Amino acid sequence: MRRLLRRLRRQLAAARLRVVYHERYAFAIPGVPLDPSRGEHILAFLLDRGLVRRRHVYRPRPAALRNVLRVHTEAYVESLQDRAVVSGIFGVELDADQAEQILDVQRLAVGGTIYAMRHALASRHPVVHLGGGYHHAAADRGLGFCAFNDVAIAVRRLQGKGFRRPVLIVDLDLHHGNGTRAVFAQDSTVHTYSIHNTSWDDAPAVATTDVALGGGVTDAAYLAALRETLPAVLAAHRPGLVVYVAGTDPAGDDLLGDWNVTAAGLLARDRLVVDQVRAICGPRTPLVVVLGGGYGHGAWRYSARFLAWLVRGKAVEPPDDMELTLRRHRSAFAGLDRALLAGSGSEWALTADDLLGGDPGARRESRVLSRYAPQGVELLLEHVGVFRRLRALGYADAVVDVDFGSGLGQTVRVFGERERQTLLIEMRLRRDRRLVAGGEVLFVEWLLLQNPRARLSVRLPPLPGQQHPGLGLLGIVVGLLVLICEKVGLEAIVDVPSQYYIAAVGHKHMRFLDPAAQARFEALAEALAGVPLAEAERALAEGRVVDAATGAAVAWEPAPMVIPVSERLKEMLRGPAYEAAVREARARLDLRVTGGSGG
């Protein structure tokens, strides 16, 4: 009975949250480190954990021009036809196509915030828009990744429809909500509240609270500033609608941020805002949450934690990347027909050999990993979302080639277009029986994921051998390989990282087959802790990582690294014998980094 009640309560709680999202938000802006999958990850997590119901997820439509013009001047909107203007707003060189797509997506997100606001007022449930928060855009100019000010437009639209109650915009993105502030500078019914690192604007405004805290802010100072100022504003302004710009760029690991706020600190912040609004303005005060800033692959988790708390009233930890990817792949896999994958008895039955008239006497491999026909590989990549991501990056006609070479393994290549000019993905795979005693594994000789059209960011220095930025697809591709191993009966994915940074990127999910190699890696990682990867690689190459006992330079020694798939290998690599061997080897190693190059 108690369990039944608990389940009922959970279902009722889940029934409260509404989410606005559009799959077109998964659009990567070249050179801007905003994870295109942020909204998608959050939504997958909320649905997966039963925190939101599918029928409570709404797809917005692009905002009507007349609504955009409630805030922005006609001259400004017209100026956006010029890709140079849009390039200026995003701080990267964009071609006309990219500029148009970005504007389309932001206008769609304006529609999303309008929808969220309408729905919050009608339903009195919290509504979360998994996008928006373009708070730097003012009436006559865009700035800092913000072309249209979605929150300002939605509020103005509401006022235009006769809404007369006071509105409070709580903007806790790391950066100043200067655009929103400027739009409402003369409107005493809209209070703009912002805590940020530095002020972008101090022109007079009739209803505004600005708190600039400088750099390096920690949890205590951040939460104190919020506690000191927000309750008074809520009590004095008595909002009938609260919009919360819940940017997560104050996080210590944010790629563009300069603060040191922890995950616990961010959640405490979000709870404080919601609790204060409910306590002072009433528990059913309409609340709209928009995402705002948050840069890097882990940014989505901060928002996910907050939203889970908003529904459950307690913390729910989001899964790591690999776990999330596997969950999503499994459902995609389940829908695929095995016969179709193998390419037999279907329209896919023609293999490369059939088409090219291969020598009937020679036994040539025509299946990837002896299982998947080339067209099957293409289908798999489509189903797990690889092509969707490539389309979002502007590669609408990506094609797959499989090169069976000499018969020892296969190379799968994905090109950006039919002419096969732009290589996006290249992976060389083979089945191997020698690397792991008593079992067969999937050996990845190399895995290249690159976006030649994007330029390397000045903020993130290139790694050795890296010519182009990545595609943001590593998690998806590795997840797919894990599932293929499960299907084909291979025990693990194995690769031999040729350089330290490759091992460092993969170490969360991979272990070295040999405990001694694992110990060496851990000693290196400890010596290089806090050093950016490009700099760490340079220190190794220049012989500046040394054995503390002998003073001898330590070089990177490639060794097989494994993602275990079978239970047998999982136990082997996590078992007490392996751990003891790592500990013993580790105790004998003490590595140090000597004199920096200053670069």
* Residues found near Zn ion in the complex (CB under 5 A): 173-175, 247, 249, 293
Backbone torsions φ then ψ of 34, nearest 5 degrees: -85, 120
Backbone torsions φ then ψ of 366, nearest 5 degrees: -130, 10
Q: Which residues of 427-450 are buried (b: 16+ CB within 10 A; e: fewer)?
A: bbbbebeebbeebbbbbbeebbbb
Give the Cα separation of 294 and 217 in Å (integer): 16
Beta strand 57-58 with 18-20 is parallel
Q: Residue 105 or 195: which CB sits closer to Zn ion?
A: 195
Q: Residue 256 or 496: which CB sits closer to Zn ion?
A: 256
Give the Cα separation of 212 and 273 in Å (integer): 18
Integer angstrom CA distances of residue 339 from 134, 345, 368, 387, 400: 48, 7, 14, 22, 20
Question: Nearest CA to 32 among 200, 249, 256?
Answer: 256
Q: Residue 299 or 324: which CB sits closer to Zn ion?
A: 299
Q: Residue 293 or 416: which CB sits closer to Zn ion?
A: 293
Least distance (Å) between residue 357 CB and Zn ion = 59
Q: Residue 249 or 432: which CB sits closer to Zn ion?
A: 249
Least distance (Å) between residue 294 CB and Zn ion = 8
Least distance (Å) between residue 120 CB and Zn ion = 23
Integer angstrom CA distances of residue 501 from 228, 466, 527: 44, 11, 14
Q: Residue 255 or 341: which CB sits closer to Zn ion?
A: 255
Give the Cα separation of 77 and 140 in Å (integer): 8
Integer angstrom CA distances of residue 550 from 518, 546, 592, 596: 21, 8, 11, 19
Least distance (Å) between residue 460 CB and Zn ion = 17
Structure tokens at 538: 């340079």
Q: In what order do the strands lie in the sheet with 399-403?
A: 399-403, 410-415, 423-432, 441-449, 492-495, 561-564, 511-512
Q: Nearest residue to Zn ion, using CB?
A: 293
Q: Which residues of 230-253 are buried (b: 16+ CB within 10 A; e: fewer)?
A: beebbeebebbbbbbbbbbbbbbe
